[in-house]
Amino acid sequence: MLRNFAFAGQSTRGFDEAWEQPWGEYRSVRNHYNELTVRFDEKNWDKRRMTVVFRVYDDGVGFRYELPQQTKLGHANIADELTEFAIAEPGEAWWDPAFEWNREEYVYNRTPIEQVGTAQTPLTVRTVSGLHLSFHEAALVDYSGMNLRRVGGRTFKAVLTPSSNGPKVSRDTPFATPWRVIMIAPDAPSLYRSAQIILNLNEANKLGDVSWVKPMKYVGIWWDMHLDRKTWNSGPKHGATTEYTKRMIDFAAKNGFGGVLVEGWNKGWDGDWFGRGFEFSFTEPYPDFDIAEVTRYARSKGVVLIGHHETAGNIANYEKQLGPALDLYQRLGVPAVKTGYVADAGGIQAEGADGKIHFEWHEGQVMVNHHLKVVTEAARRHIAVNPHEPVKDTGLRRTYPNWVSREGQRGMEYNAWGEPKNPPEHEANLVFTRLISGPMDFTPGVLSLTGKNNTQILSTLAKQLALYVVIYSPIQMAPDLIENYEANPQTFKFIKDVAVDWDETRMLAGEVGDMAVFARKARGSDQWFVGAVGDEQERRFDVALDFLKPGQRYRAEIYRDGDDADYRTNPRSIVIEQKVVTARARLAMRIAPGGGAAVRFVPIR
Ligand code: NOJ
Ligand code: CA
């Protein structure tokens, strides 16, 4: 395939169109590119044909391979993809190792480009001349996920995720591969914005009216289990009881949260569920969880129940029950489900064409197809989906806007467990890597700043608030225990006030892995929010407020690190103050080591 193709023609076109997101970081997204399509014919008797399409943007490039329908290639078994990326200049890379047991959930490495091994995407690079690059893919559909292996110097080769079938991808023609994307920007804030390319390279919304997809904040029976205070399984410490769920519903209703997530409601958690999952039922609740009563009660309080399907990576079991499981939620008015695929990498259990169980990877073609099946089946029933241990995000929320969020990196749960906890720079890394790919269900806002056995989370209090603005997701959890929110009413207020859906997003200042300062305008509102996070060092920023409406006065409700705040010694030190500002003012702040800042701007009428 590699060398035996001859140029057979080319065409070009330009495209420029703005489109609207039903929900997102930006209401309007401009899709502006020049396209080159190059056709190749095989020179030998087979005469197989292939097309390569390039789309060139002001801040990046995408290309993909198209295999048209043809008699000599009715079906393609792809053993490997030979795409290579060679980075001209030396520089630093932020990367997550690929093909390791814990899937995407590794602390980021920051190394010279020449020390990268095999990386997941997005792989982000800053070269010596200050060029910021991120390598990723868009529209990963019926194909296997791409990782990047350094094959010498600064050259990387695509490594497709393996499949138990043999070939990494198996498909009938015609088809196109996912887009291979390089985002290219002069600085860190523009790199973040260039991620719009990922959305632009996806197809338009296929679901029609999606007003039933509701961005929201939610609480849940969740952190309790990660702290070992309650259990998913049945027994004296069972978390998902009717009674406790009603308490959560009351708390949600009282504080303006839209949903209550309940994990451990269904049969199958008893014993060692991890990596097995044959026992999970997605329709039978435990006897102490009256699902009809709980959903009725929620409705009476104007709150929804958020469903949960933990599969333990056993998609054979899940797919058998998928229809009835989603029907149950639809019948009960459960408009969203969090799914889960807890299993070691390569430990997905799927039913093959032979009716036998085969082991697959979380980002292989089988799982890529599984996720889209769940998303489209859920969409038919007006249910939104939020997978944990997911396939990476490649912008498919544009095409399927009920695919609202996902995990896919180390979230807050790591701060509940033992060591190592998420390092102070974790979120400043996420912004320019994982979050380039799309929304993350990180679950910020642990105001106790403690995990299991009173272990300390490596964050200041102000930073927990900042994360709601910094980490984009149209669904944001407030995971901490009710008592911890009730004990911190002043800081909890910000979590109640902050928006989750935006008209506009701007990164006001940022450096990969060091700091990120965001301003976001709430969707359909005149309020703006600023969120800033740093790393383990003290950071400072001084930014113009020229995003505010000229001439308008705003009350700035500021939550910043106290002057003596430090995640090691004084994490709870916070200053909460108000100022009147206009678009002509500036906002200058110190971010403590491990710290952050959050500001709400409310127009004064
Ligand atoms: C891992 C998920 O990330 C977490 O949120 C969930 O509670 C557990 N799996 C159990 O499903
Ligand atoms: Ca997880």
Q: What is the mean pLDDT of the segment spanning 156-172?
A: 97
| Token output for 431 | 């912004």
d(CA 116, CA 139): 25
Whole-prediction pTM value? 0.98
Distance 19 CA to ligand 2 centre (A): 33
Residue 410 beta carbon below 6 angstroms from any ligand 1 atom: no
d(CA 178, CA 139): 5
d(CA 95, CA 196): 21
Inform me whether the pLDDT recorded for 65 exceeds 60. yes
Residue 263 beta carbon below 6 angstroms from any ligand 1 atom: yes
Q: Which residue puts its alpha carbon closest to atom 2 of ligand 1? A: 388
Note the pLDDT of residue 1: 46
Kindly tell me the burial class for residue 20, based on how many C-beta atoms sit within 10 Å of its own C-beta (0-12, 13-18, 19 or more). exposed
Q: What is the mean pLDDT of the segment spanning 250-268?
A: 98
Distance 226 CA to ligand 1 centre (A): 9
Inform me whether the pLDDT recorded for 269 exceeds 80. yes
Quote the Cα angle for 294-300-301, to 5°.
90
pLDDT, mean over the chain = 97
Quote the Cα angle for 441-28-437, to 5°.
35
Identify whether the C-beta of residue 415 lies closer than 8 Å to the C-beta of residue 443.
no
pLDDT cut 70: percent of the chain above it: 100
Identify whether the C-beta of residue 576 lies closer than 8 Å to the C-beta of residue 491.
yes
User: Which atom of ligand 1 lies at the shortest distance from residue 411's CA?
Assistant: 3
Note the pLDDT of residue 585: 98
Identify whether the C-beta of residue 337 lies closer than 8 Å to the C-beta of residue 385.
yes
What confidence category does residue 4 fall into, taking pLDDT thresholds of 50, 70 and 90?
Answer: confident
What confidence category does residue 274 fall into, taking pLDDT thresholds of 50, 70 and 90?
Answer: confident
Distance 54 CA to ligand 2 centre (A): 35
The per-residue pLDDT for range 405-455, each reduced to its tens digit, is 999 999 999 999 988 999 999 999 999 999 999 999 999 999 999 999 999
How long is the chain?
Answer: 605
Catalytic residue among 389, 413, 425, 557: 413
Q: Helix, strand or coil for residue 563?
A: coil
Note the pLDDT of residue 42: 93
What confidence category does residue 2 fall into, taking pLDDT thresholds of 50, 70 and 90?
Answer: low
The per-residue pLDDT for range 534-576, each reduced to its tens digit, is 999 999 999 999 999 999 999 999 999 999 999 999 999 999 9
d(CA 389, CA 194): 26
What confidence category does residue 46 fall into, taking pLDDT thresholds of 50, 70 and 90?
Answer: confident
Place of tokens 């789309």: 55
Q: Which residue puts its alpha carbon closest to atom 3 of ligand 1? A: 388
Residue 388 beta carbon below 6 angstroms from any ligand 1 atom: yes
The per-residue pLDDT for range 124-136, each reduced to its tens digit, is 999 999 999 999 9
Distance 283 CA to ligand 1 centre (A): 19
Q: What is the mean pLDDT of the segment spanning 379-386?
A: 99
The per-residue pLDDT for range 215-255, each reduced to its tens digit, is 999 999 999 999 999 999 999 999 999 999 999 999 999 99
Q: Which residue puts its alpha carbon closest to atom 10 of ligand 1? A: 310
Note the pLDDT of residue 258: 98
Distance 380 CA to ligand 1 centre (A): 25
Q: Is the dihedral of CA 388, 393, 398, 399 positive or negative?
A: negative
Q: Reply yes or no on whether 389 is catalytic.
A: no
Site to probe by mutation for ligand 1, drawn from 342, 440, 442 as the one with most ligand atoms within 8 Å of Cβ, is 342
| Token output for 418 | 């033992």
Note the pLDDT of residue 150: 98
Separate counts of helices (H) and strands (E) for the chain: 13, 32
d(CA 38, CA 10): 4
Note the pLDDT of residue 543: 98
